[in-house]
Structure 1
Amino acid sequence: MSDLLRLATAGSVDDGKSTLVGRLLYDTKSVLADQIDAVTRASVDRGLDTPDLSLLVDGLRAEREQGITIDVAYRYFATPNRTFVLADTPGHVQYTRNTVSGASTAQLVILLVDARKGVISQTRKHAAVLALLGVPKLVLAVNKIDLVENPAQVFADISEEFNALTTSLGWASEDVVEIPVSALHGDNVAVRSENTPYYNGPTLIEHLESIPVDAEPHRVGLRFPVQYVIRPRTADFLDYRGYAGQVAAGSVRPGDEVVILPSGTRTTVERVDTADGELDVANAGRSVTLILADDVDVSRGDTIASVEDAPAPIGEFEATVCWLAEKPLRPGARLLLKHGTRTTQAIIGGIVERFDEQDLTTAQSPDTLELNEIGKISVRVAEPIVADDYTVNRHTGSFLLIDPAGGNTLAAGLVGDAIAAIELARV
């Protein structure tokens, strides 16, 4: 079991997400005493009887009220059993792009709903986006459970509806857990609550501590996008030529036969270097410098891959995208595509279909994709990219579409047909 869990939060406005994140920080003693004192004083000034823990994380409220774009905020906390990196994303519908960003690397997402409102359209949108992104584990935190009459029945009804939704989106039942919580009072967050006798499952923190999460499923061999070619040209390193980057998938060892893509040149790994010395093996997520046995032509943007399952470079492909810009996407658009360490010119050949996350249906050949809409497109790139299907590997199967004029990110893309996977799950 990994001792690091990457998770994200998602939910609609006023579902209590900031309070829940504040409660997680508070209950795991991940905030300083002077911060707690400041929050307590501010809460008293507002006439509250208990500390408003949302103040621990809601420092961007003023910016939100001014209409300034809010980015993903990363929080760090730990328990004796595990360390957590939490991507805290805004709940406003216009910030779906931030949910995509925060959840793209998450191994688990906590999706909040207000017990008084249940599963709403924004809940369904978030669940659909998380399914497309391939998030492995999901927790539904039914918050404010203390504010409803007959909480046992409300929790059962919300759980049943949410289970039907997640099953239709392709999650297995064992990968989805529902927990009734009161973030304000701490019920079932770190301590099991006597106010929910109808619930006999784990607290939220118990679940986060115990859930087995594979940091990187070994579905493909080595994928090593080259970020930088190191040529020191000093007296001590006259012949040194290293290729620096992060292992995106698989592992690499000295002696491994590899292929340089897209050229197709084969060679052997001589050493795996780090600032702290050589390694016997480097696994996915490790940043290293590879020394190759032969003096081959390798540049930034190339990929060093295992010979056994090296993907064929592709120049034309279909992909699923979430459009994140105010200006709609139209066929024929000329954009930049960033995949790994390679950026190349791209043309959108056509919009194949648009996905409706509410009823899980598709509209064929729409004229445009609007802000926050999800669809399948065809893409042609000027330089081939070395990509796996996103369902096989999230790191090598994702890309960004970028405005060539302003440099703004316009879309998050997944190589392959992620929409078809959802449609197949419904059959």
Structure 2
Amino acid sequence: MDRPLNLGLAGIGTVGASVARILTEKQEHFSKMTGRPIEIKAVSARDRNRDRGVDLSGVDWFDDPVRLAQEADIDLFVELIGGADGPALESVKAALGRGIPVVTANKALLAHHGVSLARLAQRKNVTILFEAAVAGGIPIIKTMREALRGNTVSRVYGILNGTCNYMLTRMEREGVAFEDVLREAQALGYAEADPTFDIGGFDAAHKLAILTSLAFGTEIDLASIFIEGISEISLDDIKAAAELGYRIKLLAVAQRTDSGIEQRVHPTMIPAGSALAQVDGVTNAVAVDTDLLGSILIAGPGAGGNATASAVLSDIIDAANGVYVSTFTVVPQSLTAYKRARMRAHEGGYYIRLRVADEVGAFASIARRMAENQISLESIVQRKASDDDGSVAPIILITHETTEAAVRKALEAVSRDGHLRGEPQTIRIETLA
């Protein structure tokens, strides 16, 4: 049997502790897979005395993960610290600079610095493995980076944030208001004390930025993603979607168009009978449209200690077996500059909910402004007045295929006419055909 693979583990939180524990418990299992033992040689964490459910007394401790990466006698550096910059970035750069391959679960690091790190890895003839950075335990990175290499991808999309998916599922099934279900998600540990990163769509955007590069061979461009979170989704929207035969999901989409690559994260109405609509709770799912295979969908646990550790361990085994793949689907020098697509029509149209003054001419004014912007309406539904004195009436519009720019322009005109009470709610409708 070959000499052990010595790894340095930086970050022993929920995921790091799971990785260490499973490596210890399944040592013989992994040795049979790789032909060599996998041993934790060095670790870095802030608190040496914390009980992590695994015995780490025989390993070298470093208070500074950068020193671990620079000095420890290791063959593989596993970064589970988190964060786009600071110790995570500096320790990964230090390991790559020594010619040591890296395993990371850090989506923010890759979304902000993935291209430069990939170029450093190539210069040192090592690789960066990051299956756990997107969609937890779902093997979407390996699928796109290895299994689909003969395919041309036209679109990648999915449910990439378990917190939002859990909240929308609870709102629909139990009729729980947004604020209440958010508090519940925080109590269960699905959402942070400051939930903005999740409910604002930013977590999903980081993951989408990575998938876009893998799908289309472009440099990562996080700043070009249109991002809209779920904080404005109400129970009225959830109920209206159900009546229309849709479910609302926070969808992340990247697709090739005639004018460039389109990247967007936003609440979306999708057909209730579609496979993606059946993905509930904290589960994640990613779909890829290709020329040779058609469409594939992979779903599974998107977060949690064991789910994320599963993906990290898969990368560690690949490293132990000497598997070398380019960080992205193409070598770094072949990554093309990202070209942002113009706002375009998308199949399925828009759902628009307005709170309108219940007065003569309001309804006609809305229809006129839509027509002026070449927006064809599939349906207009006026609900019962929603306030105590009956002065405000909710109106729901469903449009045919149109553009983001046309919808914005029409709603700005409706607002200027003075009939609206509050901000309009718009949600894209995707057929997922």
Q: TM-score, normalised by structure 1?
A: 0.28
Higher helix fraction (1 or 2): 2
Higher relative contact order, chain-length normalized (CA < 8 Å, sep 6+):
2
Higher strand fraction (1 or 2): 1
Q: TM-score, normalised by structure 2?
A: 0.28
